[in-house]
Structure formats: structure tokens, C-alpha cells
């Protein structure tokens, strides 16, 4: 009996909870670039900032290295979803199970037309549409209404309880807020800032005015101010003449990624993306 008790106490890794992963699909997300990004990630991070949180692939992957996180985005509905996953995952799971049971093309458009009146219902709708719409694309019309058509999935996974719960656990260390990257004004010298801005035309309907060359230039100026304060900066971006020129004094690493947003499979060839760091 004593040997069995000793075995149970020494085999704790068998009982470890799985690592967190994104609870949303996100066009332009960085899951496939994690192996490349991991080469340049610090082994320990005191305060982690991510002002373009999106699907959060980088945060969730490296959450165990992070002591404290400050996550933000200009997309208010997305930020609300992170709050709900953090604070009310069980009620969210219950609603997602209902969406799973009722899913059909007709049901998709019914839910897309609805305007839920509680935070949990809004988030359940967002996740349901995200899991069943075309390519997981987030796009709104001029009135701010989600307008992506239904995808052609035979049996989409709408409710993955363990993913929601593991994400909730990871988010316990996070402060989550609405805001743009310019709001990070006084990072500390020990802070790490990761930016994955919308680029290459994929998200021109993600925010009013899109994220074009002028926004890219402003991000570079702002990143320089963060670096001057001693923060470590990592930026994912497009391999373009503009981006290479803007960050010519940084360390630029080229990585290969797939373009998943194109409806034509021939448009999903490998492309080069950049991992830019202010440190060696």
C-alpha cells in the first residue's frame, strides 16, 4: 500500500491539466508560426502585453511562462468574450452546447440576425458564428453588423468544454481591456510586448479605416518608444518592402506561413512572414 501511495504522489504529470489553446478560430492567427516564434520567446516573462489579442495563440501557448498579462484589442465584442471565458466559462459552455445541438444553415442565419442582451449570450453567439462561418473570418458591415456567410462544415465543433476551461484558467493571470496599441505608454524595462497587427489587407473590414501603411508607421514609432523604455518587443508582420524598411534596425527573422483566408485552395500557398524582435 505504501508503495502505491508513493507511486500516486510521484506520477503527478499524469494528472496535469492540458495547456491552454485558443477558443476562437482567427484568420491570420499565429498557431502555425508558434515553432518559429518560440525560438525568440524569453523563458520567463514578468509582465506580458498583447494589444492585438485576436485568437490569442501566442498568449495561450506561452501562458505558463508569464507571470502577469495585459491583453487588449479594439474589438469590443472580442474583449467581452475574453472576459466571459475568464469569469463565467460554465454558463458559456451550457449555451454553446445548445448551439451545437441546433446547428444548421438556417439556424446560423437566425443567430447571425439576433442581438443578444447579456454578456454570456453575446459571447456564445460570437463563438458559434466563429466556429461555423466561412473560414472563421471576423468581418462587419458599415453598420457594425457581422456579415460573414455560413461555412460548409459537415460537423463543426462548436463546444469544446476543455478548451474553454483551460483558456479560463490561463486568463486568471490576465487583465483584459478594450484599447489600441497606443494606450501602452509606460511599459517597464522587464516587460515583454508582442504585437500581431492586422496586415496584408486581410482585415480591412475589422475596424473603421482598416490598418494600413500609416497605422503600420505609427506602430513602428510606438514600438521604438517602448524599446527606449527597455521593454522587449516582438512583432509579427508581412514580409514587405515597407515593413523591412520600418524595422531595419531590429532583428528580422523570416518564417513561412500558409494563407488560409482565400476561398480558393490555390490561393493558400506558403508565404513569408516576419518575426521582428528588438533584442537578440
The whole-number pLDDT of residue 6 equals 37
- Distance, in Å, from the CA atom of 270 to the CA atom of 21, rounded to the nearest integer, reads 23
Does pLDDT of 162 surpass 90? yes
Mean pLDDT of 91-101: 98
| Pair 191, 46: CB distance under 8 Å | yes
Domain that holds residue 105: 20-277
Predicted confidence at residue 18, as pLDDT, reads 62
User: Would 9 be classed as within a structural domain?
Assistant: no
In a domain, 271, yes or no: yes
Report how far residue 275's alpha carbon sits from residue 27's, in angstroms, rounded to the nearest whole number: 18
Evaluate whether residue 6 is within a structural domain. Answer: no
Domain count, the chain: 1
192: cell is 515583454
Residue 223 confidence class, pLDDT cut points 50, 70, 90: very high
3-state SS, one letter per residue, for 76-143:
HHHHHHHHHHHHCHHHHHHHHHHHHHHCCHHHHHHHHHCCCCCHHHHHHHHHHHHHHEHHHCCCECCC
pLDDT interval class at 209 (50, 70, 90): low
State the Cα–Cα distance between residues 240 and 231, nearest whole angstrom: 25
| pLDDT tens digits along 18-43 | 679 999 998 777 888 999 999 999 99
Asked whether residue 272 is assigned to any structural domain, the reply reads: yes
Residue 105, in any domain of the structure? yes
For residue 272, the domain's CATH number is 3.40.50.150
Q: Is the pLDDT of residue 9 over 80?
A: no
**What is the reported pLDDT for 258?**
67
Residue 93 lies inside a defined structural domain of this protein: yes
- In the prediction, which pLDDT does 138 show? 86
Query: Is position 147 within any domain?
Result: yes
Min mean pLDDT across 57-66, 191-200, 241-250 is at 191-200
For cell 484568420, the residue is 27
Residue 13 inside a domain? The answer is no
Amino acid at each position: 500500500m505504501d508503495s502505491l501511495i508513493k507511486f500516486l504522489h510521484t506520477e503527478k504529470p499524469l494528472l496535469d491539466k492540458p495547456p491552454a489553446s485558443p477558443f476562437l478560430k482567427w484568420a491570420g492567427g499565429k498557431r502555425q508560426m508558434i515553432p518559429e516564434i518560440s525560438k525568440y520567446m524569453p523563458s520567463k516573462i514578468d509582465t506580458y502585453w498583447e494589444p492585438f489579442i485576436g485568437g490569442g495563440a501566442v498568449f495561450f501557448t506561452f501562458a505558463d511562462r508569464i507571470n502577469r498579462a495585459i491583453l487588449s484589442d479594439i474589438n469590443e465584442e472580442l474583449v467581452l468574450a475574453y472576459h466571459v471565458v475568464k469569469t463565467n466559462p460554465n454558463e458559456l459552455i451550457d449555451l454553446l452546447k445548445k448551439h451545437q445541438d441546433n446547428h444548421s444553415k438556417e439556424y446560423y442565419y437566425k443567430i447571425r440576425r439576433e442581438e443578444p442582451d447579456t454578456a454570456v449570450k453575446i459571447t456564445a453567439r460570437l463563438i458559434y458564428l466563429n466556429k461555423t462561418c466561412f473560414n472563421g473570418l471576423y468581418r462587419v458591415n458599415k453598420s457594425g453588423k457581422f456579415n460573414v456567410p455560413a461555412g460548409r462544415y459537415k460537423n463543426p465543433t462548436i463546444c469544446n468544454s476543455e478548451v474553454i476551461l483551460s483558456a479560463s484558467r490561463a486568463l486568471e493571470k490576465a487583465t483584459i481591456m478594450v484599447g489600441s496599441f497606443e494606450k501602452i505608454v509606460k511599459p517597464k524595462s522587464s516587460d515583454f510586448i508582442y504585437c500581431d497587427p492586422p496586415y496584408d489587407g486581410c482585415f480591412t473590414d475589422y475596424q473603421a479605416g482598416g490598418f494600413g501603411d500609416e497605422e503600420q508607421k505609427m506602430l513602428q514609432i510606438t514600438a521604438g518608444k517602448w524599446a527606449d523604455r527597455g521593454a522587449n518587443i516582438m512583432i509579427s508582420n508581412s514580409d514587405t518592402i515597407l515593413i523591412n524598411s520600418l524595422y531595419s534596425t531590429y532583428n528580422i527573422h523570416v518564417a513561412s506561413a500558409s494563407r488560409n483566408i482565400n476561398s480558393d485552395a490555390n490561393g493558400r500557398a506558403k508565404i513569408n512572414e516576419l518575426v521582428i524582435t528588438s533584442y537578440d
